[in-house]
A and B are shown apart, each in its own frame.
Chain A
Amino acid sequence: MNAEFTQDAPLLDVQGLKTVIHLPDGAWPAVDGIDFTVQRGEVLGLVGESGSGKSVTGFSIVQLMDSPAEVIAGRVLFNNEDLRLASEERLRSLRGNRIAMIFQDPLMTLNPVLSIGEQMAEAILEHRDVGRQEALRAAADALVRVGISLPEARLRQYPHEFSGGMRQRVAIATAMLNAPDLIIADEPTTALDVTIQSQILFEVQKLARDSGTAVIWITHDLAVVAELADRVAVMYSGRIVEIGPVDEVLDRSRHPYTLGLLRSSAAMVEPGQRLNQINGMAPRIDARPSGCPFRTRCDRAMSICAEQDPTPTIDGRHGFRCHNPMPQRDAA
């Protein structure tokens, strides 16, 4: 399946989503009014530095934000149902069932005192009226699909008997158990070493393609996005500053921040070219500059950037928020 067949209604339509963090001195937006869609079977890369709000976005979609964070505005339409208005029980029945998540640190996400089998089977048993044996059989099948051999024996083991990479495979297998419509993967390969990372990327891509599952892949690594994603959204200071098809955004970047990220990424720079760090650090959530939040680090900043927040510019399927974007280039 791909986007062309289901133009009418996207699987996920996020509109004006805003999530704040309540601190003693006020509520500061971690996600500051973002809009994006995900089509069925599409892989969307959500990219940004730490603190850009990309993880908060992932958790806000499934309404899993705990105090001091709170989703305060926007709509999250999943299959045309606004998840912000859904009851807690309705959300529970969707989580892990229609929308599965994979967390960043596989060492922390599995309960150390419950067996792998129990933790995988519960993802089925909490959503479907099947027997325990059947759930365990499904779990064993899923383990085989992510390349874990001797699944029956593995299911009886506990998390500490698995390596980090193996645990993340367990998490991926668990996410696939109910054939969800959407998987939100929050930097799932960051904690792993490079070879395991690419194996896992390959597996997710294959699974998404085979089963038509859409994926939101949250990462700070543009190389991963280039390899995996159909479209990419670049986040900075709680906003999406550039969004579009992956080759558009990476090859013909319009936002200076995207370009900065590209130039500072070792894997994205031609051999022999210099690596450039973006000046300075991302501003703290409670110390964001006026106007465009990126202007203090931007070498293309003009006077208007301090006065006015740039509004989105749409160029076909490519959108960006910048007063002084990079000039448009023709495809090479």
Chain B
Amino acid sequence: MTADIETFAKTAEANTPLRMQVLRNIRNRPTASGAAIAIAILVLLALLAPVITPQNPYDLASLSVMDNRLAPGETGMTGITYWLGTDAQGRDMLSAILYGLRTSLLVGLTATAGALAIGSVAGLLAAHFGGAVDALLMRIVDFMLGFPSILVALILLSSIGRGVDKVVVAIMLVQWAQYARLMRAAALVERRKEYIEAALNFGLPTRHILLFHLLPNSIGSVLVVASISVASAITLEATLSFLGVGVPVTQPSLGLLIANGFEFLLSGQYWIAVFPGIALVLLVMSLNLLGDRLRRSFNVRGP
């Protein structure tokens, strides 16, 4: 009886196309649309960083050590006004943050894309071939997911050293497993459908079936989860960099900027750590909120 009432209430909104529902869902939510706008602005700022920043923070020659640790709004020896203050090397924090944002986004997006690619292939292979391939791949996945990702990345980086490329590799290594598991589950459902059966009977090559039939039809839920995982990739990078095993000092991400400012936090020069932190928090929170809304709109369960 209760079930009758519920199904009845649900049919009311069941007749709109899914894409429209999702869009409306985001537009009607002030937090989700706010998050989408914030992400757009942050990405734009990161892309335009070389054009709009008053200073190139990587160019040590342009830095004046005399201007170190100036408070926000102060004007330095060179006549530049440092709206967000300067760090211990006299670097303009605004410039450093925008460049840091670039690094953080670069690492987050590449690592997610890489993990997504590896995980999807592994998941597809496991689902398609089953048997020993499936058993082996899923054992590896279980093994990987059994350990906290931060620990795996930390240990890996401790042996291969720091570097933007190395951080990307480390994050890919800890994140591919969740996509593999999701992809396998989605592909297993898809594989039982008749059109795959038909394609197999038709004698289409395996690669063709995997790439053009199984992949496009199973990737939906994986992509939705990836939208949230960008945020965790960025957080993981920031954490590793904060711990000093992530990106190199020559190309600081937001996490490393925060670490550099940490020692000055206690002496009251809050801006060196706090402003990059606000940028990071804004980015991660927005990605999380938007990803969460997407996940709920598409009704995908998290990893």
A interface residues with partner B (beta carbon < 8 Å)? 21, 23-25, 30, 50-51, 55-56, 59, 66, 68-69, 104, 186, 284-285
Give 24 pairs: A residue, B residue, CB < 8 Å, sorted on A: A21-B5, A21-B8, A21-B9, A23-B8, A23-B9, A23-B12, A24-B9, A24-B12, A24-B13, A25-B12, A30-B5, A50-B4, A51-B4, A55-B1, A56-B1, A59-B1, A66-B2, A68-B5, A68-B9, A69-B5, A104-B1, A186-B1, A284-B8, A285-B8
Nearest Cβ on chain A to B265's Cβ, whole angstroms:
48
> What is the bound-complex CA distance between A68 and B2, given in angstroms?
10
Nearest Cβ on chain A to B57's Cβ, whole angstroms:
54
- Closest Cβ neighbor of A286 among chain B residues: B8
Nearest Cβ on chain B to A30's Cβ, whole angstroms:
8
> What is the bound-complex CA distance between A312 and B2, given in angstroms?
29
A50 partner residues in chain B, CB cutoff 8 A: 4
> What is the bound-complex CA distance between A104 and B1, given in angstroms?
9
How many residues on chain B are close to A (CB under 8 Å)? 8
Could you mark each residue 1-19 of chain B with 1 if its beta carbon is under 8 Å from any beta carbon of chain A, else 0? 1101100110011000000
- Closest Cβ neighbor of A53 among chain B residues: B1
A66 partner residues in chain B, CB cutoff 8 A: 2
> What is the bound-complex CA distance between A30 and B1, given in angstroms?
11
B8 partner residues in chain A, CB cutoff 8 A: 21, 23, 284-285
B5 partner residues in chain A, CB cutoff 8 A: 21, 30, 68-69
> What is the bound-complex CA distance between A51 and B5, given in angstroms?
9
Is the contact region of chain B dominated by helix, strand, or loop, or is it mixed?
helix
A30 partner residues in chain B, CB cutoff 8 A: 5
Nearest Cβ on chain A to B2's Cβ, whole angstroms:
8
B interface residues with partner A (beta carbon < 8 Å)? 1-2, 4-5, 8-9, 12-13
Nearest Cβ on chain B to A167's Cβ, whole angstroms:
19
Nearest Cβ on chain B to A186's Cβ, whole angstroms:
7
- Closest Cβ neighbor of A57 among chain B residues: B1
Nearest Cβ on chain B to A158's Cβ, whole angstroms:
24
Nearest Cβ on chain A to B28's Cβ, whole angstroms:
14
> What is the bound-complex CA distance between A55 and B8, given in angstroms?
16
A284 partner residues in chain B, CB cutoff 8 A: 8
> What is the bound-complex CA distance between A66 and B1, given in angstroms?
12
- Closest Cβ neighbor of A51 among chain B residues: B4
B2 partner residues in chain A, CB cutoff 8 A: 66
> What is the bound-complex CA distance between A92 and B152, given in angstroms?
55
> What is the bound-complex CA distance between A247 and B290, given in angstroms?
64
> What is the bound-complex CA distance between A186 and B2, given in angstroms?
12
> What is the bound-complex CA distance between A24 and B10, given in angstroms?
10
> What is the bound-complex CA distance between A139 and B180, given in angstroms?
52
Nearest Cβ on chain B to A219's Cβ, whole angstroms:
13
A25 partner residues in chain B, CB cutoff 8 A: 12
- Closest Cβ neighbor of B4 among chain A residues: A51
> What is the bound-complex CA distance between A69 and B3, given in angstroms?
12
- Closest Cβ neighbor of B6 among chain A residues: A68
> What is the bound-complex CA distance between A283 and B2, given in angstroms?
18
Nearest Cβ on chain B to A51's Cβ, whole angstroms:
6
- Closest Cβ neighbor of B13 among chain A residues: A24
B13 partner residues in chain A, CB cutoff 8 A: 24
> What is the bound-complex CA distance between A59 and B8, given in angstroms?
18
> What is the bound-complex CA distance between A50 and B1, given in angstroms?
8
In addition to A21-B8, A23-B8, 7 A-B residue pairs with Cβ atoms within 8 Å of each other are A21-B9, A55-B1, A56-B1, A59-B1, A69-B5, A104-B1, A284-B8
Nearest Cβ on chain B to A302's Cβ, whole angstroms:
31
Nearest Cβ on chain A to B208's Cβ, whole angstroms:
46
Nearest Cβ on chain B to A289's Cβ, whole angstroms:
18
> What is the bound-complex CA distance between A271 and B13, given in angstroms?
47
> What is the bound-complex CA distance between A234 and B284, given in angstroms?
60
**Which of B1, B2, B4, B13 is packed against the most chain A CB atoms within 10 Å?**
B1
B1 partner residues in chain A, CB cutoff 8 A: 55-56, 59, 104, 186
Nearest Cβ on chain B to A189's Cβ, whole angstroms:
16
3 A-B pairs closest in CB distance: A55-B1, A24-B12, A21-B5
B9 partner residues in chain A, CB cutoff 8 A: 21, 23-24, 68
A24 partner residues in chain B, CB cutoff 8 A: 9, 12-13
> What is the bound-complex CA distance between A4 and B244, given in angstroms?
90
Nearest Cβ on chain A to B164's Cβ, whole angstroms:
50
> What is the bound-complex CA distance between A107 and B17, given in angstroms?
36
Nearest Cβ on chain A to B27's Cβ, whole angstroms:
19
Nearest Cβ on chain A to B183's Cβ, whole angstroms:
33
> What is the bound-complex CA distance between A25 and B13, given in angstroms?
11
> What is the bound-complex CA distance between A25 and B12, given in angstroms?
9
A186 partner residues in chain B, CB cutoff 8 A: 1
> What is the bound-complex CA distance between A284 and B11, given in angstroms?
12
- Closest Cβ neighbor of B2 among chain A residues: A66
> What is the bound-complex CA distance between A186 and B3, given in angstroms?
14
A56 partner residues in chain B, CB cutoff 8 A: 1
> What is the bound-complex CA distance between A285 and B9, given in angstroms?
11
Nearest Cβ on chain A to B1's Cβ, whole angstroms:
4
A23 partner residues in chain B, CB cutoff 8 A: 8-9, 12
- Closest Cβ neighbor of A186 among chain B residues: B1
> What is the bound-complex CA distance between A56 and B4, given in angstroms?
11
Nearest Cβ on chain B to A252's Cβ, whole angstroms:
31
**Which of B4, B5, B12 is packed against the most chain A CB atoms within 10 Å?**
B5
Nearest Cβ on chain B to A218's Cβ, whole angstroms:
9
